[in-house]
Amino acid sequence: MRRILLPAAMLALAMADARANDSTAELGAGGLVYVTTEAVQMTSEDLFISLDAVRVRYTFQNVSDKDVTTLVAFPMPDIKGSLDFLGAIPVDDPVNFLGFKTLVDGKPVEAKVQQRASALGVDQTAYLQSLGIPLAPQLTATRDALDGLPKEKWDDLIDRGLAIPDQFDAGKGWENHLAANWQLSTAYYWEQTFPAKKTVVVEHSYKPSVGMTAGVTFGRPDDKTSPWFKHYVQKYCMDATFLAAAAKAAKGRAEDDYLMESRIDYILTTAANWAGAIDKFHLTVDKGAPANLVSFCGEGVKKTGPTTFEMSATNFYPERDLSILILRGVKSSQSENKSVP
């Protein structure tokens, strides 16, 4: 039993997304960003996305007569602390929690990392570090460090918006704890030189943050009148064929076997930071198993294998990010193991 002590404004925010308590939230990651220069053009992007991996291969052309050196960054998705953290964190690392790796012309890049913790729009990184608090709000070590602080520090953390008081009874009487409430922003970055009139190949890979929901949130007839259903249709481009297939797949399943939503977000619009459109863009989405169902927005998408769907475009300028919805059958024991971040 938990007694949650929330200021009124925070309570309103907490109630706003109470639709899926048994869900883990996907964290949208994307591609490289840098200071825009007309000298460097992205000539191609080959993107592969599955439930287990995201792989991207870029080619860049320096069209000028001079070498160009610029700062290149890979922003990780922000992590927001909460009373019951339900974000999907694929790698148990307080910094590189997506297992991010980069190659330039086939050689590993030694990237630097910057992390910033903020609350109420104020950078509180130095303050948390002065208290010996880990910056990653999702870690058990962070919660333990908060609980170990003197009580006078608790009030200061709450006043700064960095923590939320959490009171619950786990069977041994009421306990008082602090839950991290700050937002952690992480970015990997390095200096990259693009030689004059030369092509540079940049590859990066990471494990996606896959949001999951036990069951299908749009399976009931009255769900289709809910405001969030329209949002789902627009975000994932769900059409009548997909909805009919989802309804069919949900019927007649065993009691411990049900459809689970898996959601992946990819921030495609970061490619707009580069000069001009992408000459050649290619996307492959792998739904994981032939029986799985997938829906995402794209033009000219073709099924190219039992589990793969591909699209290609020339002079491509991304105007929206990519969101992928995969429905798959999962045994109840599997979902219990996989839905916990």
Domains of the chain: 2-338 (2.60.40.3680)
Can you give the pLDDT at residue 86? Answer: 55
pLDDT at 256: 76
Cβ distance 138 to 79 under 8 Å? yes
CB 183 within 8 A of CB 78: yes
* Token pair in block for residue 289: 């198993």
Neighbours of 191 (CB within 10 A): 10
Q: How far apart (Å, rounded) are the C-alpha atoms in residues 298 and 284?
A: 11
3 state SS of 266: strand
Residue 180 has which token pair?
Answer: 């991290």
**Per-residue b or e along 60-91, where b marks 16 or more CB atoms closer than 10 Å to that residue's CB:** bbbbeeeebeeebbbbbbebbbbbebbbbbbe
Quick check: 135 and 119 in contact, CB under 8 A?
no
Residue 90 and residue 210 in contact, taking contact as beta carbons nearer than 8 Å: yes
* pLDDT for position 17: 31
**∠ CA(248), CA(252), CA(254), 5° rounding?**
130
Backbone angles phi, psi at 282, to 5 degrees: -135, 130
Helices (H), the chain: 8-16, 125-130, 140-147, 151-159, 227-236, 240-250, 332-338
Backbone angles phi, psi at 247, to 5 degrees: -65, -40
Which residues are registered as beta bridge partners of 108? Answer: 103
The Cα 158–Cα 178 span in angstroms is 9
pTM score, two decimals?
0.78
What DSSP character marks residue 39?
Answer: T
pLDDT tens per residue across span 207-246: 988 888 877 877 676 777 788 888 899 999 999 999 999 9
* Tokens 């007649």 -> residue: 252
Alpha-carbon separation of residue 321 from 72, 186, 269, 287 (angstroms): 20, 20, 6, 18
Q: How far apart are the first and last CA of the chain?
A: 21
CA distance 92 to 72: 25
Give me the pLDDT at residue 145, please.
Answer: 96
Q: What angle do CA 296, 27, 118 make, to 5 degrees?
A: 145
Distance CA 219, CA 58 (A): 39
The low-confidence residues of the chain, meaning pLDDT below 50, are 1-26, 335-341
Half-sphere exposure of residue 155, counting CA atoms within 13 Å on the CB side? 2
Query: How many CB atoms neighbour CB 293 within 10 A?
Result: 20
Bridging pattern class, strands 23-24 and 211-214: antiparallel
pLDDT of residue 34: 60
